Amino acid sequence: MKRYLLAPGPTPVPPVILQAMAQPMIHHRTPEYEALFAEVRRDLRTLFQCGNEVLMFAASGTGAMEGSVANTLSPGDHAIVVQGGKFGERWAEICRAYGVRVLAVTVPYGKSVEPEMVAAALRQAPETRVVFATHSETSTGAVHDIQALAGIVRRTDALLVVDAITSLGVMDLPMDSWGVDVVVSGSQKALMLPPGLAFAALSDRAWARVPEARLPKFYFDFAKERKAMAGNQSAYTPAVSLVVGLRESLRLILAEGLPNVFARHDRLARATRAGVQALGLTLFADHPGAACTAVKAPDGIGGDAIVKGLRKRGITIAGGQGSMKGTMFRIAHMGHVEVFDVLTALAGLEMVLADLGHPVTLGAGLRAAEEVLRK
């Protein structure tokens, strides 16, 4: 059975990247690796749209999240966390694990935070050192207005730290021009790689905070890593094969051009949303992003049944997480995903819904999506 991967991570890996990673292993303390790493460092700055170094660790994206907490805060410091899904909540969980005092700005799942809510929280807690937010909340499909939040936070002494694990390479996030202080991401989403690399980029404001941060750290020591990267090395053993693949990934993305990459993801997202709505289904997020489309499960049919039905047909999507389990499903369209991947997913969805007894006009979703895609 041919398989289609449309889950919000891991995502499909292009053959050229798989071939590059299958080459014989090279040693990471050699001129060959240093030349490779120099190219990767340069292209990561272009992807993050920043002038400073982009740190890289052998970890999941959560590693970069944890490192961002440990390198910007001290015991007992105050932080504001924007919570609207499982990954916004993860910021709070990491902070509390390190003894950071958390003021949560919480919105219901599927909603996007109003920037004024963060402004009010900063007025309530002027001692706040960091505001943690999520650009694209993978668990709900919702997007938060990072540009507006950056404008608010920039007027204070607090830093804005953003989880862009799902949004980097999907939606525009010009770190420097928006004034975002830290952006973290991971390899297994739009970068079209297997899991295993975490990234963190810091502004000058954030780097000035690093020497003051007294939370414990060893592997995720940002200053140590930046010093090593200046010599085209890493402080510890890197995930060499993934870095080799990353070079190819960045070449593909930059050859397409960031504006074209963002436009492609937006087009696929609009087509997917049109398709599911034409089947009488309701979007889960009020302000959905371009990384994945979260859809409410129809009455009488659990979201997990839809996920399982598609999996039997070789199509992998994702269900709901935590309290959302069984209430929704998510179709991703990021990275190495094209028009006919989306159409395949919608065709499978139509058949699964029909098999589960949901009234559906076969072809309605495909027609609606095609009308978007043909424009």
Mean pLDDT, all residues of the chain: 97
**Is 290 found in the same domain as 187?**
no
Enter the pTM of the model.
0.97
Which of 207, 230, 255 is a domain's end point? 255
Residue 234 lies in a domain: yes
Which of 197, 229, 255 is a domain's end point? 255
**Is 93 found in the same domain as 157?**
yes
**277 burial via Cβ count (<10 Å: 0-12, 13-18, 19+):** middle
How many Å apart are CA 10 and CA 30, to the nearest integer? 30
Range of the domain at 118: 15-255
Please name the residues in contact with 116: beta carbons below 8 A apart, sequence gap of 6 or more: none
Residue 172 lies in a domain: yes
Residue 129 lies in a domain: yes
**Is 269 found in the same domain as 246?**
no
Tens digit of each residue's pLDDT (9 = 90 or more) over 334-361? 999 999 999 999 999 999 999 999 999 9
Side-chain-side CA neighbours of residue 271 (13 Å): 28
Tens digit of each residue's pLDDT (9 = 90 or more) over 86-106? 999 999 999 999 999 999 999
Q: What is residue 375's predicted lDDT score, i.e. its pLDDT?
A: 86
Residue 145 lies in a domain: yes
Chain centroid offset of residue 13 CA: 16
How many Å apart are CA 76 and CA 273, to the nearest integer? 44
Reported residue count of the chain is 375
CATH of the domain at 275: 3.90.1150.10
Q: What is residue 226's predicted lDDT score, i.e. its pLDDT?
A: 98
Residue 2 lies in a domain: no
Q: What is residue 240's predicted lDDT score, i.e. its pLDDT?
A: 98
**Is 336 found in the same domain as 221?**
no
Tens digit of each residue's pLDDT (9 = 90 or more) over 69-90? 999 999 999 999 999 999 999 9
CATH of the domain at 72: 3.40.640.10
**Is 92 found in the same domain as 57?**
yes
How many Å apart are CA 85 and CA 140, to the nearest integer? 6
**Is 191 found in the same domain as 44?**
yes
**Number of other CB atoms surrounding residue 342 within 10 Å:** 26
Q: What type of residue is 97?
A: A
**Is 194 found in the same domain as 57?**
yes
Residue 4 lies in a domain: no
How many domains does the chain divide into? 2
Tens digit of each residue's pLDDT (9 = 90 or more) over 151-208? 999 999 999 999 999 999 999 999 999 999 999 999 999 999 999 999 999 999 999 9
Please say whether the beta carbons of 199 and 226 come within 8 A: no
Please name the residues in contact with 317: beta carbons below 8 A apart, sequence gap of 6 or more: 6, 7, 306, 307, 310, 329, 330, 331, 332, 345
**Is 251 found in the same domain as 362?**
no
**Is 290 found in the same domain as 245?**
no
Residue 7 lies in a domain: no
